[in-house]
Structure 1
Amino acid sequence: MASACVSFGRALLMVRGSNGVAAAVNFYQNGLGLAVVRHTDDWAELACPIGSSSGNKSIDSSHPSINFRLSVQAVHSEAQLGIGYSPFLSFDVDDMDSTVARCVQMGAHLDGPIQYPAHGKVAALRAPDGHMIGLYEPAL
């Protein structure tokens, strides 16, 4: 049996209209530090390094294979915004407290308290556009 040769390309978030695209880009760029690769009224693509949050990494939009891509698309149908169409995004962070504070200032809401399991810190928050985001800060 031959194995499939696939790789993960991007996650797609659907938001209502062009105002939703602009607001989502603002949040993911300024709240989480993702780099804007392209942005139009109806579509945006942001890049985030792949791998552990610690270490010296930078976003390199010229090498898409080393970055996670987050696409944001404007939609006009309520069905496209319903449950089942949106992924749960999870990001590794270097500093949970400052990341949560920055995201909350930008309109996100914690979904329960920050948890402190033995392997690090974890938190779930709802972005201003309604998508769920997981944050993970590994223990030292």
Structure 2
Amino acid sequence: MASISFRRALLMVRGSNGVASSVAFYQNGLGLTVLRHTDDWAELACPAGPLSPAHTPSISDGAHQQFHLSIQSVESESQLCTGYSPVLNFDVVDMDETIARCVQMGANLDGPIQYPAHGKVAALRAPGGQMIGLYEPAV
């Protein structure tokens, strides 16, 4: 039986300005680490695995694998399909701080923060139009 792992997602944005603004949002709003960045392409990394308030994993933390987010410049409207791209989900340590930072970077909260028994859940639309789910586990 073959094994499989998911480690990368690709977002397509319009032109080089879309790459630059998306990199700024994911780096400064969500704290992802830029691995590569050109006018037409960028790759960012985010630690993968569970969060704990006592220990926020970093990219250099050997105990955690990395998830890579690639951003590619495109010109064709059919390649963008804004609103139909996958929803990206990120675990966060502090929901309120993360939302405030992301809104300052141009994101829009899509509905109120939800408070199910297992934590906090929110949805944002990034400046590039992609939907982002945020989850803060209950302590």
* Fold shared per TM-score above 0.5: yes
In 2: Cα distance, 1:7 partner to 1:90 partner: 16
Identity, in percent, stands at: 73
User: What is the CA RMSD across the aligned residues, in angstroms?
Assistant: 1.7
In 1: Cα distance, 2:68 partner to 2:96 partner: 25
In 1: Cα distance, 2:11 partner to 2:81 partner: 11
SS at match of 2:22: helix
- The verdict on how the C-alpha distance between 1:106 and 1:10 changes in structure 2, with shifts beyond 3 A counting, is same
1:9, distance to aligned residue in structure 2 (A) = 2.8
After superposition, the C-alpha distances for 1:88-126 in whole angstroms (9 at most, x for unaligned) are 000000000000000001100000000000000000000
Whether the 8 Å contact between 2:19 and 2:42 is mirrored in structure 1 is yes
Whether the 8 Å contact between 2:35 and 2:44 is mirrored in structure 1 is yes
- Identify unmatched segments of 5+ residues in structure 1: none
Runs of 4+ with deviation above 6 angstroms: none
Whether the 8 Å contact between 1:35 and 1:47 is mirrored in structure 2 is yes
- Identify unmatched segments of 5+ residues in structure 2: none
**Aligned pairs, number:** 136
- Aligned residue runs from structure 1 range 10-49, under 5 A: 10-49=8-47
After superposition, the C-alpha distances for 1:60-101 in whole angstroms (9 at most, x for unaligned) are 39x7x8100000000010000115862100000000000000
In 1: Cα distance, 2:138 partner to 2:117 partner: 7
SS at match of 1:21: helix
Whether the 8 Å contact between 1:38 and 1:45 is mirrored in structure 2 is yes
1:58 is matched with 58
Whether the 8 Å contact between 1:60 and 1:66 is mirrored in structure 2 is no
- Aligned residue runs from structure 1 range 1-140, under 5 A: 3-54=1-52, 55-60=55-60, 66-82=65-81, 86-140=85-139
1:8, distance to aligned residue in structure 2 (A) = 1.3
SS at match of 1:26: helix
